[in-house]
Amino acid sequence: MDQIKKLTTELRNPNTTEIDTLSTLEMVKLINNEDKQTIEAVYSVKEDIANAIDIVYEAINSGGRLIYMGAGTSGRLGVLDASELTPTYGVGEESVIGVIAGGDSALRNAIEGAEDFESYAVEDLKKLKLTKNDVVCAIASSGRTPYCIGALKYAKELGAQTIAIANVKDSIIGTYAQTVIEAVSGPEVVAGSTRMKAGTVQKMILNIISTATMIKYGKVYGNLMIDVNASNEKLVLRAHSIIQEATGCSEARAIELLEQSDKSVKVAIVMELMDLDQEDAQTLLKVHKGRIRDAIRD
């Protein structure tokens, strides 16, 4: 119990001790003011985040996977980040996976005790057939979750790269990881409610890691998501807009290109910029590992 009390994520916030007496608007202003600290917390560990990105990129570029591991809010955020990469960048579980202690049912329901056993993480990673080519990223606001410790230990045994993300300094999970990101979010508005500032910090860090990795991986041209999966009406319209922005063509031409490219925005852009048919555009992109900038310089 004493160890928990010493964690900055568990301390009472002196700025919010009277929050239950405030008006609704005053509550909103106070919570928002506390949230401002999250930006600085993330910026303070920018070098560590950059190191993590380079590790993740090299792994995925070599056929490995990024595997997020966490419990509770931390686990949910990992699953969220991983699942959103498919519609955004056309990347699935062959590259990024999110795992939460207790399994998918824990996304909606608290699974008591799921985070308390290192062996549960080992079992989950064995199901995924973890290899030394993968990267295991353990996420824990307290920096001491046994499930995360077990994941990092097992990954290290297999020779996989390891990353730890915590919201406290000198975290326990940090002692088991090669790359450590300790973004101190401070005491929460409601003591111990780490779904708030700690969760916000974690989400920002995961967003940066996955987004920067995808950019390096050739999934972005300029600031356009050129591997967007045009799987519904909204995304088809977005695909048309991206093609127009990237090539300067008309809306009608963008619609035509998307159809001719079999709904591949990336191929459509190269077809237009290089005046190629679908097959030749695909071949050119394959030669340049899917990177449009390299392809159009050819």
pLDDT 10s digits, 24-81? 999 999 999 999 999 999 999 999 999 999 999 999 999 999 999 999 999 999 999 9
Say what the pLDDT of residue 206 is.
Answer: 98
Return the SS3 of 218: coil
CA-nearest of 186, 139, 183 to 33 is 186
Return the SS3 of 60: helix
115 belongs to the catalytic site: yes
Predicted model pTM: 0.92
Catalytic residue among 115, 182, 188, 272, which? 115
Say what the pLDDT of residue 2 is.
Answer: 46
Confidence of residue 150 (pLDDT cuts 50, 70, 90): very high
The answer, yes or no, to whether residue 218 has pLDDT greater than 90, is yes
Residues 6+ apart with CB under 8 A from 262: 278
Residues 6+ apart with CB under 8 A from 168: 7, 8, 9, 141, 142, 143, 182, 184
Say what the pLDDT of residue 226 is.
Answer: 95
Beta strands in 161-200 (DSSP E): 161-166, 179-182
Say what the pLDDT of residue 1 is.
Answer: 47
CA-nearest of 53, 219, 46 to 135 is 53
Q: How many Cβ atoms from other residues are within 10 Å of residue 24's Cβ?
A: 7
Spell out the SS3 assignment of 224-278.
EECCCCCCCHHHHHHHHHHHHHHHCCCHHHHHHHHHHCCCCHHHHHHHHHHCCCH
For 29, 50, 223, the CA distances from 17, given in Å and listed in that order, are 15, 36, 43
For 33, 216, 220, 280, 293, the CA distances from 298, given in Å and listed in that order, are 50, 19, 18, 13, 9
The angle, 0 to 180 degrees and rounded to 10, between the axes of the packed helices 265-274 and 278-287 is 100
Say what the pLDDT of residue 131 is.
Answer: 97
Q: Are 135 and 56 in contact (CB under 8 A)?
A: yes
Mean pLDDT within 99-108: 93
The answer, yes or no, to whether residue 6 has pLDDT greater than 90, is no
Mean pLDDT within 172-193: 96
Catalytic residue among 58, 84, 93, 118, which? 84
Say what the pLDDT of residue 14 is.
Answer: 94
Percent of the chain with pLDDT over 90: 91
List residues bridging with 179 in a β-sheet: 163
pLDDT 10s digits, 223-274? 999 999 888 999 999 999 999 999 999 999 999 999 999 999 999 999 999 9
Return the SS3 of 1: coil
> What are the tokens at 226?
């050129």
Say what the pLDDT of residue 170 is.
Answer: 96
The answer, yes or no, to whether residue 8 has pLDDT greater than 60, is yes
270-291: b or e for each residue (b if 16 or more CB lie within 10 Å)? bbbbeebebeebbebbeebebb
**How far, in Å, CA of 212 to CA of 43, rounded?**
15
54-81: b or e for each residue (b if 16 or more CB lie within 10 Å)? ebbbebbeeebbbbbbbbbbbbbbbbbb
The answer, yes or no, to whether residue 278 has pLDDT greater than 60, is yes
Say what the pLDDT of residue 18 is.
Answer: 96
Mean pLDDT rounded to a whole number for the chain? 95
Say what the pLDDT of residue 4 is.
Answer: 60
**3-state percent breakdown (helix, strand, coil) of the chain, nearest 5:** 55, 10, 35
**How far, in Å, CA of 193 to CA of 28, rounded?**
16
> What are the tokens at 116?
């308390």
